[in-house]
Amino acid sequence: MRPSGIRAEYRTNGFAYLLILPAALLVLSVVVYPVYFAAEFSLHSSVIFAPGDFVGLDNYRALGSTSILQNAVASLIFIAGSIVLAVGAGLGLALLLDGRVALRTTFRTVIFIPWVTSQIASGLVWRWLVNPDYGPVVHGLQELGAPRVDVLGDSALAMMLLIFTNAWRSVAFSMIVILSGLQTIPESVTRSALIDGAGRWRTFTEITFPLLLPSIFVCVITSTFSYFNIITIPLVLTGGGPQNATEIITLRMYREAFSYFNVGFASAITILILAFNIGLTFLYLKLPGNKGIMQ
Amino acid sequence: MSSWPGRAARYAALVVICIVMLLPLGWTLSTSLKPNGEILSFPPQWFPAAPTLDHYVAVLKSNMPVYFFNSVIVTAGTLAVTLVLGLHVAYALTRYQFRLKRVFLFLLLLAMMMPGVANLIPVYLLASRLDILDSYLILILVYSAWLLPTVVWILAEFFRSIPDNLDKAALVDGYSRWYAFYRVCVPLSRPAIAAAAITVFVFVWNEFIIALTLMSSDAKRPVQVGLHYYLTVLGIEWGEFTAAVVISLAPVVVLFLLFQRSFVSGMTSGAVKG
């Protein structure tokens, strides 16, 4: 339809606004408006879920405490470790499954099973699998000559298990994104490099990998969002332990609010987490492949 | 990779990875079939010596069917809201230019990027102020706001592939804009609707922490929260717990296997293009 004059254009716009109105109302009332409550709470002491005295920025000052810093460091280790493992393994799997591979769909389906399994079921079952007394994985490793280990009793091992479980759950996502990136690389490009004597490794590092970088970036950024906002897996797998070694910042926020009922402080953490998410969103939009999203 | 040692290494790697991917599910299935005496036996056994369906019977007699029903209601509600709103939004975004478009898109992006968890406390405070904690409504609203953007990206990408002379032709023929949308565009976009629906289904069915926070009564609990209470209320009753996990997983896995192609296309269109 060709808008003739201002009136027609106005009507066209009006129709578009009508189409988006319900969605805009939903997002504004469920996502944006509630932030006001958290902001208000963050400036007050709290008596369970009722705001108490106005305390100014006290709750925010408490964000500088050592224990919150530890939570932030745990989050950082968790996110970075998960990304390295999940995106790295996703890249490896995509390369393994690229081209003509017998049973390709079957392999892909199996790799997707953890992705469609709920985080609570995954977390609880992995917790059992590594139980030092009756867990089959620890037992199996012992049969192979490894010492009996209490994974959840050791800070470093617990963090590694948390990262492993999270990567195990989400590797399918990176795999599929990178696989679809791989399919956009014409076979003729890599083949001619091989014919020119570049060798398989050099063809990968100098042609395939650079062409895959946009897909890998998408995986890294999208995964950062999703890993940053996880509570369930650490809650049920490690419970944040031992000695808070795996208590990432979102888990701390959850506990401050719903276990200790420090809602004012928890709200301050929420505002911090929201700010981080908004910052990441801007970063995401700066990525080369994402210009299209804002048009 | 045509040399046979290369091919053998490739398949060996894939098989090992697949075993690791299936390990927890295998253990869950096997445990759910073991009689109580075998469950915590040492050394751990991968196959039940005397398989039994007792745990499944116990789960069906417990509150699990109620939790299942609650999950169905919440999932269906979220599907209805996100698909209806998503279709309208995607149509507006792909067919019209309007001044607040960028603002609106940023809003959508934010809603997607703050997946309920960052917003957990604000939403809890809102729900308690409005007195709608522990209602299907609040859960459906929160899930819908979170998943709407994903649905919009999936549908918008598809709408862009439908040539707009099709709906223009309807307009030229004198039909209304609503007709062009509902009768021309929507029926054509069935594959994209399927992709969006299966994506929403999997996320809503599996969500735990938001449901745990917002739903407090046993009668309203969805499946995943029900799984959690299996552990805390009855102690660690592994046989029934694993049977309940298998039952809760069944609909997702079956739908995933049936609509795998839609699901994967939904994932990549949501991710690669934003």
CATH 1.10.3720.10 boundaries in chain B: 53-272
Q: Which among B92, B126, B267 has CB closest to A34?
A: B126
Q: What is the DSSP string of B127-179?
A: HHHHT-TTSHHHHHHHHHHHHHHHHHHHHHHHHHHS-THHHHHHHHTT--HHH
Using a CB-CB cut-off of 8 Å, the residues of chain B touching A118 are 205-208, 224, 227, 248-249
Which of B120, B181, B198 to mutate to test binding with chain A, by most A CBs within 10 Å of its CB?
Answer: B120
Q: Inspect the interface and report whether the beta carbons of A31 and B114 lie closer than 8 Å.
A: yes
pLDDT computed for residue B117 by the predictor: 76
For residue B247, what are its two tokens? Answer: 């039952």
* CB of B106 closer than 8 Å to CB of A23: no
| Residues of B whose CB is below 8 A from A267 | 121-122
pLDDT at A288: 63
Side-chain half-sphere of A285: how many Cα atoms within 13 Å?
Answer: 16
CA distance B98 to chain A (A): 5
Instruction: Report the residue of chain A nearest B167, measured CA to CA.
Output: A1
Q: Tell whether omega for the bond before A242 is within 30 degrees of 0, i.e. cis.
A: yes
Task: Encode pLDDT of B178-207 as tens digits.
Answer: 888 888 888 888 989 999 999 999 999 999
For A274, the closest of B89, B114, B274 (CB atoms) is B114
Give me the tens of pLDDT residue by residue for chain A, a chain 295 residues long.
Answer: 444 444 555 556 788 888 889 999 999 988 888 888 888 888 888 777 777 778 888 888 888 888 899 999 999 999 999 999 999 999 999 999 987 888 888 999 999 999 999 999 999 999 989 988 878 888 888 888 888 888 899 999 999 999 999 999 999 999 999 998 898 888 888 888 888 887 888 888 888 899 999 889 889 988 988 899 899 999 999 988 898 999 999 999 999 989 988 888 999 999 999 888 888 888 877 766 655 555 5
What pLDDT does A99 receive? 78
Q: Is B176 on the interface with A (CB under 8 A)?
A: no
The answer, for B21 touching chain A at a CB cutoff of 8 Å, is yes
What ipTM does this complex have?
A: 0.90
**Class of B53-272 in CATH:** mainly alpha
B82 touches chain A (CB under 8 A): no
Interchain CB contact of B94 with A (< 8 Å)? no
Contact B114 A231 (CB under 8 A): no
DSSP 3-state of B195: helix
pTM of the model: 0.90
Radius of gyration of chain B (CA): 23
Q: Given CB atoms, is B12 within the 8 Å cutoff of chain A? A: no
CB contact under 8 A, B98 and A292: no
Helix axes A33-42, A263-286, angle to 10 degrees: 130
Contact B273 A292 (CB under 8 A): yes
The answer to whether the Cβ–Cβ distance between A258 and B213 falls below 8 Å is yes
Cβ contacts of A135 on chain B, cutoff 8 Å: 44
Q: Considering only the beta carbons, identify the residue of A35, A101, A112 that sits closest to B122.
A: A35
